[in-house]
Chains A and B, each alone.
Chain A
Amino acid sequence: MTTAAPPKPISLEHVSRWYGNVVAVNDISLSLGAGVTGLLGPNGAGKSTLLHMMAGLLRPSAGRLLVLGAPPWQAPAIYRHVGLVPEREAVHGFLTGREFIEMNARLQDLTDAPAATARALATVDLLDAADRPVGTYSKGMRQRAKVAAALVHDPPVLLLDEPFNGMDPRQRLHMISLLRRMAAEGRTILFSSHILEEVERLADAILVVYAGRLAASGNFREIRRLMTDRPHTFLVRSSDDRALAARLVEHAAVFGIDLGGGRLSVSSSDFGAFTRILPVVARDASISLYEMLPTDDSLESVFAYLVRR
């Protein structure tokens, strides 16, 4: 007898969302299980739209989106099991941290709201400032108050939109260890970021979105390798560009040379190999290297490459 695998906490099948003629999320299918997943993409890629649809704050224009087995749109009951940390900074600044978290606990109808509030405040290391108005908090403290508000009811699914914004390095480390700890307890945690290093430090799995499409998904190391091993183009300046070009063209890692406009442009399929052979080739030919500049190393171009793959 075979038993069907339990459904994933979050699943999307061909989900799209558009605003008039603008497509914000384009035909995305994915499923998320327990653990920390990073949602990586440049600003405007559709990350917040995806998170808001998962949180029931936006209706998908097409496709099927389920959170814990049910569509979250117009289903407030789901919020007993889901927490969202929105990107927008605004909180009720006139409330103290404790009042703000307790308001969230009461609206979750928790039996002992003050105790749940104290636990959430301790979890985000905010007990010392708990009785100060949230309006007087630093950006990082406010971010932690938002996280405490989202986890006060101990939800199995936690969605965080750019949670590290405004945090100093110490707060980031604290937040990373907190999220890891929560994931180890079996929660499904999805956080968005446009900073590769943040995702690298925290996420077990990664979703890359670009221009509304899912550009890549899976294990972080595999995607990191794809990002690193993509074709790169470099501008090289040396004491003899023509001679250097003649030598470089013989190497397998180099697949394109352009000397137009008085500049040496080299295309390589292997970032690591090229950066290793270039100084060796130059030294062997007694050519002085002045500059080597990657021309397409922005995260934007990395995402564009992943989409084209």
Chain B
Amino acid sequence: MTTIATIADVTLRALLGRRRTILLLLLAGLPVLVGLLARLGGGRLDAAPILDALIVRLVLPLTALVFGTAALGSELDDGTAVYILLKPIRRWQIVIAKVGVAGLLSGALAVGSTLLTGVLAGGVGGTSLGTTFGVAVATGLAAFAYTALFVAASAITGRALVFGLIYVLVWEGALAGILEATKIVSIREATLGLASALAPKSSGIPTGLDPSQAVLLLGLILGGALFVASVRLAGYEVRGTE
């Protein structure tokens, strides 16, 4: 088993703690429940607004926040990180493993929730399936950018969760409606840009960033966060020394 696989294995088992998993499954189940209610109500909803409001704006950033900050931050906080740090391994290997696992988990939840919600709410006819597919691919990719950002925040500060909440709620939420410029560095806008490009033209998904800008932004955030986290971890000083 390689170094990255060893760290990924331990990280995966740490992240799949019972309480955290149940909580996030409930969160990811919320849009599915809305889709199910729509289906049971006999009506056929437009999937795009539900996917936008509940998946892109809620499930994706929050699951990525929880997994991203827990993947590295929890170990740094409780001291178990020393068992990985005190090894002759490159710091980027640790960061890749953490981001990989956290991204896969939050991506799996967001994509799974997207597919179920989209099919339940919008069915498989018309543009619905294409819309669902577009959002699923975009959220799956964006999950890695979000988790990389939050893993990097954990390597920088012990208050990564607060940073993440401010980023998601204030920067991408409140400020996005007031300051247009914030959209240029918004993972949410990149997700929407990518989703609307992948979905059929009349999908109803907000256009967000231009697709090429969206890919560039996600790539920059992912690469930049991996770099910053690796550098920070290389110069990491243990917390809580007397």
Across the interface, which residues of B come within 8 angstroms of A48, CB to CB?
241-242
Across the two chains, which residue of chain B brings its CB closest to A57?
B238
Interface flags, A25-58, vs B, CB<8A=1, else 0: 0000000000000000001111111001001111
Per-position binary interface string of chain B over residues 2-37, scored 1 when its CB falls under 8 Å from any chain A CB and 0 otherwise: 010011001001100100000000000000000000
- Smallest Cβ distance from A84 to chain B, in angstroms? 6
The answer, among B14, B86, B235, for a CB contact under 8 Å with A92, is: B14
Q: Flag if B237 contacts A59 (CB, 8 Å).
A: yes
A57 to B241, CA, bound (A): 10
Q: Would you call A126 an interface residue if the criterion is a C-beta within 8 Å of the partner chain's C-beta atoms?
A: no
Give the residues from 31 to 69 in chain B that come closer than 8 angstroms, CB to CB, to chain A: none
Q: What count of chain B residues pass the 8 Å CB interface test?
A: 29
Contact A109 B88 (CB under 8 A): yes
Task: Tell me if B89 and A76 are in contact (CB < 8 A).
Answer: yes
29 CB-based A-B contacts, threshold 8 Å? A24-B242, A44-B242, A46-B242, A47-B242, A48-B241, A49-B241, A52-B241, A57-B82, A57-B85, A57-B86, A57-B238, A58-B237, A59-B237, A76-B91, A77-B88, A79-B86, A88-B82, A90-B78, A90-B79, A90-B80, A95-B10, A100-B83, A103-B6, A106-B6, A107-B7, A107-B87, A107-B89, A109-B88, A149-B83
Query: Once the chains bind, are A84 and B241 in contact (CB under 8 Å)?
Result: no
On chain B, the residues within 8 Å of A58 by CB distance are: 237-238, 241
Indicate whether A80 sits within 8 Å of B82 (C-beta atoms), given known contacts A92-B14, A107-B7.
Answer: no
Besides A76-B91, A86-B79, A106-B6, 6 new A-B residue pairs in contact (Cβ under 8 A), listed by A number: A45-B242, A48-B241, A76-B88, A92-B80, A100-B83, A107-B83
- B240 interface contact, C-beta 8 A: yes
Complex alpha-carbon distance, A92 and B13, angstroms: 10
Closest to A58 in B: B237
B82 touches A106 (CB 8 A): no
1/0 contact trace for B86-102 toward A, CB 8 Å? Answer: 11111100000000000
Distance of A149 Cα from B10 Cα, bound (Å): 15
Binding site for A on B (CB under 8 A): 1, 3, 6-7, 10, 13-14, 17, 78-80, 82-91, 234-238, 240-242
A49 to B238 CA separation, bound complex (whole angstroms): 10
Instruction: Using A92-B14, A103-B6 as known contacts, say yes or no to A57 and B87 having CB atoms under 8 A apart.
Output: no
In the complex, residue of chain B having the shortest beta-carbon distance to the beta carbon of A47: B242
Known A49-B242, A92-B80; contact A76-B237, beta-carbon cutoff 8 A: no
Q: Which residues of B contact A84 (CB under 8 A)?
A: 82, 86
CB distance from A85 to the nearest CB of B (A): 10
Query: A108: CB under 8 A from chain B?
Result: yes
A58-B82 Cα distance, complex, nearest whole Å: 12
Give CA–CA (A48, B240) in the complex, Å: 10
Pair A107/B80 contact, Cβ less than 8 Å: no
